[in-house]
Chains A and B, each alone.
Chain A
Amino acid sequence: MISLQGITKRFGGHTVFKDIDLSLAQGEIIVIIGPSGTGKSTLLRCINFLEKPDAGRLQVGDLSVDTQRASRADILALRRRTAFVFQNYGLFANKTALENISEGMIVVDKLPKAKAHARAREILERIGLADKADAYPASLSGGQQQRVGIGRAMAANADVILFDEPTSSLDPQWVEEVLGLMKQLAVERQTMIVVTHEMQFAREVADRVVFMDEGGVVEQAPPEELFTAPKDERTRHFLRKILAPTGQAVP
């Protein structure tokens, strides 16, 4: 169970979003959509405390944190329960694919190295990169790098994985393999929050789609409902713009 209560973020005098409430159950998959610059990524980064929220409370599992009083220990605990997948992968350039995945288990979870490596090999198997265990990020394709990035998030054994536009910086030919892996995780009922512009993915995979605009949640509903019968004019406008050129059914 993850919940955000009254999460607010400002940059200087500009309010990115205000009083965001959002909650999801274990095993639920939420996709956040909306125009660029509405703070979708920033919201995701707040959950992981990569950005410090300016107000609100975060709850992940049995850990509940007042963001304004969060101690260093709270922040570390929160980060251990939330894994993050970055748009530009953020792989450790000095570590192999295997080490990228095992690093957190060794350093943060204090697993013995052999055990961490064994688990990392299982994960490499699951993400289809068993043969790339000893490859460094520089020698991997964009799609492979992002799959390692997802593998690293899987290794964290977190309550939720946060995906920040995971396919946005990929060449088109690598998008499918990354989405495929995310779908596989969805089948396994991995709890996740995904910020993406991949509407087809949202339709297929999401339990609930959240539409954000102008610093707030405009509406949220199961995909078939949100994509076919959006209630708010802003949602309709956004969907019309983003879906029309692809020839998909326009609400």
Chain B
Amino acid sequence: MLNLEYMWGLLPVLLRYLPLTLQMATIAMCFALILACLLAVVRVSKVPVLNGFSLLFISFFRGTPLLVQLFLFYYGLPQLISSLIAITGVTAAVLGLTLHFSAYMAESIRAAIVGIDRSQTEAALSIGMTQSQLMRRIILPQATRVATPTLMNYFIDMIKATSLAFTLGVTELMGATQKEAAGSFLYLEAFLLVALIYWAVVEVLSWGQRRLEIYLNKAYQR
């Protein structure tokens, strides 16, 4: 049966690596959000040239596996750009997660922007607002509300996807578990424990997501 004593002892060991996992996910999420907003605005406003670039970018990063992208950045790119030889696993992972998830998020943000009724755009323009004022003050705040549930799902997905960083030699939560398990041969206990840790983190986030949605919906109560 399960060696519960071993699991209990392993818990604090693994939790030491949780901050790195959360850091990677949070940093990648911040960059991905910024990039996704830019991509979405470019797509919605049909900015010449950039629009074509956005389409290509989104197509590539949605069309290829995250693991392949991570290997490309970590093992592949330094071959092309020699100064990148010093790229760390963490940097490559954050870069890969950022680009990969920004492509997905750009599409949800774009859909949220397009979903806001046209009359508000016209009203903002009619009082003399510029396109960027319109975006910042009227459209994006509302699009945020619409896109939040989906974006939170991507964030949750991203936290789990950080586990792939262990394939780049990063000792984060998953990498640490792998090492511990290899030492003790108690694979079931170790991986079950790490699964529970991921699950707990995601549950906490889901709770936060519900609170956030209540807050964002306060303008729409009848």
Binding site for B on A (CB under 8 A): 48, 50, 76, 79-80, 82-84, 86, 88-96, 103-104, 107-108, 136, 138-139, 149, 152-153, 156
Contact = CB atoms under 8 A, between A and B. Distances in A.
A115 to B, nearest CB: 17
Contact of B123 (A84, A107, A138): A84
A86 B128 contact: no
Contacts of B127: 79-80, 83-84, 103-104, 108, 152-153, 156
Contact of B221 (A83, A139, A156): A139
A86 B145 CA distance: 25
B45 interface: no
A65 to B, nearest CB: 14
Nearest to A76: B128
Contacts of A50: 122, 125-126
A213 B142 CA distance: 40
A181 to B, nearest CB: 18
B185 interface: no
A136 B128 contact: no
A82 B218 CA distance: 32
B128 A80 contact: yes
Chain B contact patch, size range: 20 to 34
A145 B126 CA distance: 17
A136 B220 contact: yes
B219 A86 contact: no
Contacts of B219: 93-96, 136, 138
Contacts of A95: 138, 219
6 contacts: A84-B127, A90-B126, A91-B120, A108-B127, A136-B219, A139-B221
Interface in B120-146: 120, 122-130, 133, 137-138, 141-142, 145
A90 B137 contact: no
A79 B123 contact: no
B47 to A, nearest CB: 15
B119 interface: yes
A196 to B, nearest CB: 18
A242 B7 CA distance: 83
Contacts of B129: 104, 107-108
A79 B125 contact: yes
A156 B129 CA distance: 11
A200 B128 CA distance: 32
Interface string B96-139: 00000000000000000000100110111111111001000110
Contact of A108 (B128, B141, B220): B128
Given A79-B128, A94-B142, A107-B137, 7 more contacts: A50-B125, A93-B219, A96-B219, A104-B128, A107-B133, A108-B129, A108-B133
Given A108-B129, A152-B127, A138 B220 contact: yes
Contact of B126 (A48, A88, A93, A136): A48
A95 B127 CA distance: 15
A76 B128 CA distance: 5
Nearest to A93: B142
Nearest to B119: A90
B211 interface: no
A92 B122 contact: no
Closest 3 CB pairs between A and B?
Answer: A90-B123, A90-B119, A84-B126
B14 to A, nearest CB: 42
A92 B133 CA distance: 13
B138 A138 contact: no
A86 B222 contact: no
Among B122, B126, B130, B220, which residue has the most Cβ atoms of chain A within 10 A?
B126
Nearest to B133: A107
A48 to B, nearest CB: 5
A178 B116 CA distance: 26
Given A76-B130, A79-B128, A107-B133, A94 B141 contact: yes
B123 A152 contact: yes
Given A84-B126, A104-B129, A107-B129, A90 B120 contact: yes
Contacts of B142: 93-94
